[in-house]
Chains A and B, each alone.
Chain A
């Protein structure tokens, strides 16, 4: 209360100067009174602005002062400490403003420095509904925009602004405002409009000429592509300039202009303008607009005193109107503006099938627009149009207040000419001087006057002379009609008038046509009716009057030749109607039947018979019978329909039975009513039976009372059966005075209820729901309550491996309370898995719920044991933990704001088969606004995986930025595979896609050779009754760019291969594309066991350049200690490997193989056989050696028979050799002769590649040295 009192705008005026002092005492009294008055004034001012109660009172006073226009629901705070207003409204007949919440925090002290400093101005949803008509006068430029003091609004935010007129909603407006040194500056941080988002800054001078500068960046979406636009504003407020360019895929918009917004004439508001657009589709910009692909250029620049310019438009996707396209191909125009005159010249539009030319001259007093039509084929514009080619011209010219429209068009042999004067001042009227259609020898002409004000009087005279309708459209019958028409009427306020139509002897469809028709009418009353028309054998006659008591109107139709009316007609129709009584109590006798009736619009009736009679007053009996069979209109078909009513007016019964089908769904309907019409014209009675069979079906279980009148419809309480459930409908109906109302309850509403509307539910359920409602409403929003509760049953979800399991639902409840201005929803769900409950309150804005409606509420979610979800997981997967969330709801329905924590503990997820194990997990996250901040998500006792970041739900799509850190994390652990990684990745969810980036290092890994070759059904095996398998590469749904450093502790083993792997890989993927891997993996100390040999991997590179499953191979494994460098080289790719034997020097394949396996060449001798033996022996050695690993060499040779000089014969025999290469140069072998059982030990020492020494000791001893050289 110690705040200084300050004058503020709108406050009461300051105290008047004290009155003059006539006398001393009196002066004292006056002074005292004045001081008291001043004190009380100051005191009450201080109370009003400085205390909560006073401040609230201040608003009440303001509301009272406004005469009920202003209302504020709740006030908190004081003027000085800042305040909050809830639900403030300003309502006038043509204006309405609503503000759901306004919060102001400011620094009053700053006013001493001559500054208005607002820390925060936060506004909830705002509705603006201003229907004040425009004054029509041009807006004048302001003289000054200066403010008396500096202003700073540091933070300004508006949840939503709804413009009720154009139905626009702007959301999430945030920014700041400042007025300093004579300049207004606005910094807009965010502004969400239906077509995009904007951000930028604007500055405006406070004094003339109001220098303007600023820049706004727009971000939006057009045709599914994001658009970015930049707008630069400059110049002054009186002559602003605008430069904008927008770029998107296929669309380019470039605007550069200088404007004069305060010019009096519309076309003078532009000083210079260049607009270039390419690839614009109007259908994307405006719903309902035709589709096209338009390139547009508009150029306007000063030329002399005026402005000269041109327009050209090209549409590359022209098409028919019915196909939703624009038939315009090209439009060109040139215009010139001088003073206040606009001249349009050389303008034409090419419609592909013809051309329109335009020329015009406009000034504030007169205008002249000439349109020429040049060979325009209507079919080219719209295929359904008649095949006519139109030429001619039209002109709208004359004084601005009384222009004349003249028309002269010709198509085929038809000509349409006309002239009309459009009187716009005084008693506005359209004076049709002539309008004539000349079709060949015949013509139709029309003349008259239509008043456009007051009673809208219409006087029209027309004549037909030898007119042939078939000349206008081939779907009309041919004929020759002569006749006259005379209409004199007023159209406003319950039309009245007279018309007379008479035909001279004419023909139609070759049959004679004659007759006349005339009548007078006033509202629904008619008199002087005299109709007598005859077409061939068809007759229509009517005479008499109806409306006043005693009047009688009789009408007879006898039409056995309806086909004479045209190709769309057919069949027979006969009717006789006698009408008497008054409109309130009509009396009639009706007899009508029709057969094989065909009418335009695909309507047909096989047979129809109607009989009705209501002879006279309330007590007399009446009868009504209608039978329809085989009727059809569009996709509605009636098989049979019978309506019968009998009794008196005061007491009668009505029965309806029928079989029909709507949209291919058959229905059978039966209804019985009994009751009567009272003198007050209120029908009261009983609906004793109503049964609708079909899907959905509806059955009335007990008779209900039904009252229906002009001011009230009431259905009594009763029991119904519909959608497989029992419904109890309490009194429901409608009253003109206070709107509609309904109450009732339902029991046992099951899943079948939705069957007529949904083909198949995604889950199986035996859920049964009961509910009750009590609602009433008039105009916009209903009031009352609706409540639904689960009665019994459960939802069954399919299990991953087949089968199903119930969800364990124990409670499900939702209650909605509507009080006209707000809706409160309270819902609760309890299942075996967990529970969720919440309440939400939504307030109406401008009498309706919409995206900008303020929302508040609370949601609590608790999943106490995630392991209960076990049955729905795949085989080998386990999940555990608990999750809780308590969230508060705020903001608007379109942009809800959430706040509150989301916590989970003891989280665990394991997939044994994939080798994934995440344990000891904790999640701590907080919702704030529309952002979920992940404070901590970690797994493992020592936080081996942890994540932090945020997820934002603010934009059209959620975005996220999450960093995941791995610290000696066991990424894979299953038999044969164990991978431990460290590193960091970031997971970003952008507007387009999820992307994962980062770098991981493998700390330790052990990988076994994956088992290959397990048989599996091929993709071309189709098993009947199973879904067809998707064939093709698996794609990732997110973008990936992760580097993997294999480190130095990756071991790979299996299939004889043992190696370390080092290298770096980069995993890259784009959404929807398969994973690509790039990088090179080198083997480290690799060994490969093949053919019984330990091969050292001399060079081992696996080169990934795209497909992860098919890296390129560059592997060379050499036999240890091989003098010729024999080994195996694998090149190609994993899927298409090329395996080649290699050696340091050229030698035949078999020789290489021998060197590889045996460590020696095949040797000389009888070439082929020896080589074959050597290589076969090598294979055998390899095969055995893989098992035994003892010998390098198991071979078979044969020796020749030898006779020695001493005569002894050494017979030919087969010799088995065993041996092992001990070092690179030393071989130790053993030979056994199969026949002679002779044994020998062989030592080979290799001195160089081509030089070896061999010693053999057995029964004999020999030593041999051999040197081989190959040269050119």
Chain B
């Protein structure tokens, strides 16, 4: 919420020992400038102080016009008139900001090695003119100027010129003509490639576990993005409790910058033992074991056994660390057995995956095996078995993962059995998801459009493993309906998965204060057995989104049109 009231009613917080001096400050200024003054003028910020006395207040009143002018200059107002009047316990600050200083011209010069690289220079200049925050005619602000300098530097420093620095910068302000001329000269330093990766802190695991996570080779052009990705990959790696990746800028030799990786290892094995008692399920146990250095090659293997009266499961997993070429492999097998009202249900799920992550694109190829078997009284009632290959492809291209304003997310997944071989029925499953963020330059706020379409083509729908069918509803789907409550109605009010799925959403978000956004949205969609029986459900709602340092957290309240009921949901992170 925008700060609604800019006069501060400040009561004395001090104890009775202090001679209380209470005063109120009214700032009469254009709304855009009020927060700047209210947050930074000592007259305002010290008003709460219990030790404020008449003498100090008098000095502050005297100083305020000059202090206010200094603050206004950082917002581009170099000819502001400020008057301070005190009337009893009320202080009035009258600000007439005058004409702001606008940018007349700006220039960014690049010198150093980049000057010889015409293509890179042209690309940088193109990006500069697109992103420069203080374009011609814009109002000069100190913040914009700082951003502009940072941008001019970052554009090449994140690439092959990490040693770049600002050689000189000058913002020449002419208060008489209300014009500003900006000149920045960046010294790119030499062209830098990645050098050797030096790893410190390894005792247990092979070095490949670390180096394999890097998306670059010795000799490939330096990129900060790749370095950051390397850092986050290592942080997420189960072998290490922490990892720091340091580019050794002082040790650049022959145009190559060595990279230092400092890791703290976790012990090689982990065991977990759990005992459990539940009033409904009775006693249970959970035993897990993980080993992080199988074959001394850093492979991670895990076994998890979970048992209770009704249900038991056994999971095996094996993950091979990512290799230099960007591929990683995983395999897992899960056996599950449950008994509900005499129906014994066994399932086996297993798969082998080959994953590749490169830049913002993630690709997967895998072969999976699914077996569902139901036995009633020792007689096999139902048996669905499928062996199918899956190809998946995801791209996340956003300007800022934590605060997306522009960009898109794409995800496609296609699975197919190999005819009827080893499967009860031949089927093909496809699903495509897309989300688009758009912040128009002519209108405040951000638009989010989301779509999700999926279908399973099968000879016999009933023989398709139920985990491959679709359900909708809830966060990330159609809000205003319960989580996964949209699908095909099953026995006993249960909701079963459908063969087709289509959902869509249109959402408008605007920032109310840094880190917080309000959203208005309209969702629609459904999952059904066939397109004929498909009937899209609609909902409207509004929500609050908090851009936490980890991921955006949304709290939404929506009303499903068919159920006429307000429901709330919480969701975390990006749509997918």
Interface residues of B in 184-199 (CB under 8 A from A): none
Q: Which residue of A lies closest to B266 (CB)?
A: A1146
Q: How far is the CA of A1183 from the CA of B516 in the complex (A)?
A: 12
Q: Is A1247 an interface residue (CB 8 A)?
A: no
Q: Is B365 an interface residue (CB 8 A)?
A: no
Known contacts A912-B59, A1176-B572; is-contact A1017 B174 (Cβ 8 Å): no
- Evaluate contact between B272 and A1266: CB separation under 8 angstroms: yes
Counting from the closest, the 10 A-B pairs by CB-CB distance are A876-B59, A975-B49, A912-B59, A1146-B241, A1262-B278, A1205-B310, A1015-B74, A1266-B274, A1179-B548, A1014-B40
Q: Is A1206 an interface residue (CB 8 A)?
A: yes
Q: Is B475 an interface residue (CB 8 A)?
A: yes
Q: Is A579 an interface residue (CB 8 A)?
A: no
Q: Which residue of B lies closest to A1014 (CB)?
A: B40
- Evaluate contact between B268 and A1264: CB separation under 8 angstroms: no
- Evaluate contact between A1234 and B170: CB separation under 8 angstroms: no
Interface residues of B in 536-551 (CB under 8 A from A): 546, 548-551
Contact stretch, chosen from B138-146, B416-424, B443-451: B138-146
Interface residues of B in 541-576 (CB under 8 A from A): 546, 548-551, 553, 568-570, 572-573
Q: How far is the CA of A155 from the CA of B130 in the complex (A)?
A: 88
Most buried by B among A975, A1216, A1262, A1267: A975
Q: Which residues of A contact B265 (CB under 8 A)?
A: 1146
Distance (whole angstroms) from the CB of A972 to the closest CB of chain B: 12
Q: Which of B146, B269, B339 contacts A1205 (CB 8 A)?
A: B339
Q: Is B297 an interface residue (CB 8 A)?
A: no
Q: How far is the CA of A89 from the CA of B269 in the complex (A)?
A: 110
Q: How far is the CA of A73 from the CA of B151 in the complex (A)?
A: 87
Q: Is B73 an interface residue (CB 8 A)?
A: yes
Interface residues of B in 148-181 (CB under 8 A from A): 168-176
Known contacts A912-B56, A1235-B482; is-contact A1146 B569 (Cβ 8 Å): no
Q: Is A1204 an interface residue (CB 8 A)?
A: yes
Q: How far is the CA of A148 from the CA of B44 in the complex (A)?
A: 90
- Evaluate contact between A1263 and B277: CB separation under 8 angstroms: yes
- The 0/1 profile, CB within 8 Å of A marked 1, for residues 40-84 of chain B is 101001100101100110111011001000110111001000000
Contacts from B to A (Cβ < 8 Å): 36, 40, 42, 45-46, 49, 51-52, 55-56, 58-60, 62-63, 66, 70-71, 73-75, 78, 142-143, 145-146, 168-176, 204, 235-236, 238, 240-242, 264-281, 286, 288, 309-310, 338-341, 475, 482-485, 492, 494, 546, 548-551, 553, 568-570, 572-573
- Evaluate contact between B269 and A1180: CB separation under 8 angstroms: no
Q: How far is the CA of A495 from the CA of B409 in the complex (A)?
A: 115
Q: Which residues of B contact A1201 (CB under 8 A)?
A: 484
Q: Is A1135 an interface residue (CB 8 A)?
A: no
Q: Which residues of A contact B341 (CB under 8 A)?
A: 1205-1207
Q: Which residue of B lies closest to A1207 (CB)?
A: B341
A-B contact pairs, 22 of them (CB 8 A): A876-B63, A1016-B70, A1016-B142, A1018-B171, A1020-B170, A1146-B242, A1148-B241, A1149-B235, A1164-B272, A1172-B572, A1180-B546, A1183-B548, A1206-B280, A1207-B340, A1211-B483, A1214-B475, A1262-B278, A1264-B274, A1269-B270, A1270-B266, A1271-B270, A1272-B268
Q: How far is the CA of A1176 from the CA of B169 in the complex (A)?
A: 40
Known contacts A912-B55, A1204-B340; is-contact A1260 B63 (Cβ 8 Å): no
Distance (whole angstroms) from the CB of A1032 to the closest CB of chain B: 16
Q: How far is the CA of A974 from the CA of B46 in the complex (A)?
A: 10
Known contacts A1214-B569, A1260-B280, A1269-B271; is-contact A1018 B142 (Cβ 8 Å): yes
Q: Is A363 an interface residue (CB 8 A)?
A: no
Interface residues of A in 1198-1212 (CB under 8 A from B): 1201, 1203-1207, 1209, 1211-1212
Q: Is A1110 an interface residue (CB 8 A)?
A: no
- Evaluate contact between B279 and A875: CB separation under 8 angstroms: no
- Evaluate contact between B268 and A1205: CB separation under 8 angstroms: no
Q: Which of A876, A1023, A1261, A1270 contacts B78 (CB 8 A)?
A: A1023
- Evaluate contact between B267 and A1205: CB separation under 8 angstroms: no
Name 19 extra pairs, CB < 8 A, besides A801-B66, A1147-B241, A1176-B551. A975-B56, A1011-B45, A1015-B143, A1016-B74, A1017-B70, A1023-B73, A1024-B174, A1146-B264, A1146-B266, A1149-B242, A1179-B550, A1201-B484, A1206-B341, A1209-B494, A1234-B570, A1260-B278, A1262-B278, A1262-B279, A1270-B270
Q: How far is the CA of A804 from the CA of B549 in the complex (A)?
A: 54
Q: How far is the CA of A1263 from the CA of B284 in the complex (A)?
A: 10
Q: Which of B268, B340, B553 contacts A1203 (CB 8 A)?
A: B340
Q: How far is the CA of A1235 from the CA of B481 in the complex (A)?
A: 10
Distance (whole angstroms) from the CB of A890 to the closest CB of chain B: 45
- The 0/1 profile, CB within 8 Å of B marked 1, for residues 1251-1269 of chain A is 0000000001111111111
Q: Which residues of A contact B572 (CB under 8 A)?
A: 1172-1173, 1176, 1196
Q: Which of A1022, A1148, A1265 contacts B274 (CB 8 A)?
A: A1265
Contacts from A to B (Cβ < 8 Å): 801, 875-876, 910, 912-913, 973-976, 978, 1011, 1014-1018, 1020-1025, 1140, 1146-1149, 1164, 1168, 1172-1173, 1175-1176, 1179-1180, 1183, 1196, 1201, 1203-1207, 1209, 1211-1214, 1216, 1234-1235, 1260-1272
Q: Which residues of A contact B240 (CB under 8 A)?
A: 1148
Q: Which residue of B lies closest to A914 (CB)?
A: B59
Q: Which residues of A contact B281 (CB under 8 A)?
A: 1204-1205, 1262
Q: Which residue of B lies closest to A1143 (CB)?
A: B241
Distance (whole angstroms) from the CB of B147 to the closest CB of chain A: 12
Distance (whole angstroms) from the CB of B335 to the closest CB of chain A: 17
Q: How far is the CA of A1021 from the CA of B180 in the complex (A)?
A: 10
Q: How far is the CA of A1272 from the CA of B291 in the complex (A)?
A: 9
Q: How far is the CA of A289 from the CA of B550 in the complex (A)?
A: 78
Q: Which residues of B contact A1146 (CB under 8 A)?
A: 241-242, 264-267
Q: How far is the CA of A1204 from the CA of B280 in the complex (A)?
A: 8
Q: Which residues of B contact A1168 (CB under 8 A)?
A: 236
Q: Which of A973, A1023, A1173, A1183 contacts B175 (CB 8 A)?
A: A1023
Q: How far is the CA of A1173 from the CA of B475 in the complex (A)?
A: 14
Q: Which residues of A contact B266 (CB under 8 A)?
A: 1146-1148, 1270
Q: How far is the CA of A1168 from the CA of B568 in the complex (A)?
A: 24
Q: Which residue of A lies closest to B140 (CB)?
A: A1021
- Evaluate contact between B235 and A1267: CB separation under 8 angstroms: no
Distance (whole angstroms) from the CB of A1028 to the closest CB of chain B: 10
Known contacts A875-B66, A1271-B267; is-contact A1022 B276 (Cβ 8 Å): no
Q: Which residues of B contact A1214 (CB under 8 A)?
A: 475, 483, 569-570
Q: Which residue of B lies closest to A976 (CB)?
A: B49
Q: How far is the CA of A1173 from the CA of B572 in the complex (A)?
A: 7
Q: How far is the CA of A344 from the CA of B248 in the complex (A)?
A: 70
Q: Which of B74, B175, B204, B273 contacts A1024 (CB 8 A)?
A: B175
- Evaluate contact between A913 and B60: CB separation under 8 angstroms: yes
- Evaluate contact between B339 and A1267: CB separation under 8 angstroms: no
- Evaluate contact between A1196 and B570: CB separation under 8 angstroms: yes
Q: Which of B62, B70, B273 contacts A1266 (CB 8 A)?
A: B273
Known contacts A975-B56, A1205-B339, A1260-B278; is-contact A1172 B73 (Cβ 8 Å): no
Q: How far is the CA of A1214 from the CA of B485 in the complex (A)?
A: 13
Most buried by A among B42, B142, B280, B569: B280
- Evaluate contact between B546 and A912: CB separation under 8 angstroms: no
Q: Which residue of B lies closest to A1261 (CB)?
A: B279
Most buried by B among A1173, A1175, A1209, A1270: A1270
Q: Which residues of B contact A1260 (CB under 8 A)?
A: 278-280
Q: Which residue of B lies closest to A1205 (CB)?
A: B310
Q: Which residues of A contact B272 (CB under 8 A)?
A: 1164, 1266-1269
Q: How far is the CA of A1018 from the CA of B40 in the complex (A)?
A: 17
Q: Which residues of A contact B46 (CB under 8 A)?
A: 975-976
- Evaluate contact between B40 and A1015: CB separation under 8 angstroms: yes
Distance (whole angstroms) from the CB of B61 to the closest CB of chain A: 10
Distance (whole angstroms) from the CB of B266 to the closest CB of chain A: 5
Q: Which residue of A lies closest to B273 (CB)?
A: A1267
Distance (whole angstroms) from the CB of B33 to the closest CB of chain A: 12
